[in-house]
Structure 1
Amino acid sequence: MRLRWWGAGLGGLTIGLLALGAVATFAQQTPPQPHQAPPQQPQASPKPANIDRNGVLMLIRSTLLALDHANRTGNYTVLRDLGAPGFQVNTAARLAEIFAKQRSDKIDLSGVAVIDPQLSLLPQIESSGLLHMAGFFPSVPSQVNFELLFAPVEGQWRVFGVSLSVGQSAPVAPATPEPPAGKAVVSQKQSAPPKPGVPAKPPAQSATQ
């Protein structure tokens, strides 16, 4: 199961739905003339983020625990307030609709408070200026996979996008195969060994004269 939501698109990243302001801006742009390719701006490559391990852990855990609290209570106001302006284009009611599946499945994310995440994508700064990271929390029987975006707001990183999936991490043994229909399982019965001191009875023999 995978649930994904990003805030408004910024820069070179194409993410989810665009904010209303971005839609209005795009609508006012002059379309390119026929036989003319639109001007393309070179996009900068992502670069490693200058953030230490403790800072990464705080961002990941605070975001996922806020989502867990919202799922448990059905109140997404705090999660929305913690987000960047591009994330706050969603109302609390809209966020409740987005995460309705997680809420109905009673997904428990409280383990992220004590388990260290393993990063599959180290924190990096995208060409849009967003902080991007991804990884997972290994646990039994479920594994929490996450992908997060943060936008800089007044000197702080605030959540801009959340992608979350919960999957099974522990190996599952195959089910015991059942015998085919219409065939009975036959066990071979062995004859009991002779008692001590009693000679074994020889097998019956038939002779022809």
Structure 2
Amino acid sequence: MLILIRSILLALHQANETGNYTVLRDLAAPGFRDANTAARIGEIFASQRAQKLDLSGVAVLDPQLTLLPQIEANSLLHMAGFFPSVPSQVNFELLFAPVEGRWRLFGISVNVGSSTPVAPSPPQQPPAAHVSEPKHVEPPKGKPGPVARPAKPAGGEVAPGGP
């Protein structure tokens, strides 16, 4: 689990540093790639890039899981947590799809928040595909799969979609 978490968050860090989201997209499951161009992912994480958010600490800090890794009814591996650091911490929620015997990125949400401790939450369903945010982006017609949507300021999120 640690390798999955770190590799994806470091790929996001490098994408934010370079402005090139191709590798992050290429590490993902086919449904994610079909629904999200590298440019679209770049738009979602534009605020992190503009703020020069430094995620490199995920390479050396140990994550604290608030949602232990679990397989959801849709066969996705779902987990959430944070990397504790001061004065802010990196919060994440990740979804992975099984592809040819490997877990591939299917949904990602990353933002920076307070470093105040938070109690673990009870198991929950994966993030809903439909949100009422004004910038909601629908997936291409006829292709169920992940959709991208903007997240809170200083964050970015690419979440699953479909029925």
Q: TM-score, normalised by structure 2?
A: 0.69
User: 1: CA distance between counterparts of 2:85 and 2:7?
Assistant: 19
Q: Percent identity?
A: 77
User: 1: CA distance between counterparts of 2:67 and 2:47?
Assistant: 26
Q: Partner residue of 2:31? A: 86
User: 2: CA distance between counterparts of 1:170 and 1:142?
Assistant: 9
2:17 counterpart of 1:69: no
2:78 counterpart of 1:132: yes
Q: Is the 8 A contact 1:124 1:131 kept in 2?
A: yes
Which blocks of at least 5 consecutive residues in structure 2 are unaligned? 118-163
Map 1:45-124; keep pairs closer than 5 Å: 56-88=1-33, 89-124=35-70
Counterpart amino acid of residue 21 in structure 2: Y
Map 1:178-189; keep pairs closer than 5 Å: none
Displacement of 1:122 in angstroms is 0.6
2:92 counterpart of 1:146: yes
In proportion to residue count, which structure has more strand?
A: 2
User: 1: CA distance between counterparts of 2:74 and 2:97?
Assistant: 9
Q: Partner residue of 1:27? A: none
User: Which whole-Å deviations, capped at 9, do the CAs of 1:145-181 have from their partners, x for residues lacking one?
Assistant: 110000000000000000112013169xxxxxxxxxx
Q: Is the 8 A contact 1:130 1:152 kept in 2?
A: yes
Map 1:7-22; keep pairs closer than 5 Å: none
Counterpart amino acid of residue 22 in structure 2: T
What's the C-alpha RMSD, in Å, of the aligned pairs? Answer: 1.3
User: 1: CA distance between counterparts of 2:94 and 2:13?
Assistant: 15
User: Which whole-Å deviations, capped at 9, do the CAs of 1:78-113 have from their partners, x for residues lacking one?
Assistant: 000000012102111111111111100111000000
Larger radius of gyration: 1
Q: Partner residue of 1:163? A: 109
Secondary structure (helix, strand or coil) at the match of 1:64 reads helix
Displacement of 1:75 in angstroms is 0.3
User: Which whole-Å deviations, capped at 9, do the CAs of 1:45-65 have from their partners, x for residues lacking one?
Assistant: xxxxxxxxxxx0000000000
Q: Is the 8 A contact 1:144 1:165 kept in 2?
A: yes
User: 2: CA distance between counterparts of 1:166 and 1:78?
Assistant: 22
Counterpart amino acid of residue 59 in structure 1: L
Which blocks of at least 5 consecutive residues in structure 1 are unaligned? 1-55, 172-209
Q: Is the 8 A contact 1:140 1:170 kept in 2?
A: no
Q: TM-score, normalised by structure 1?
A: 0.54
Displacement of 1:140 in angstroms is 1.0
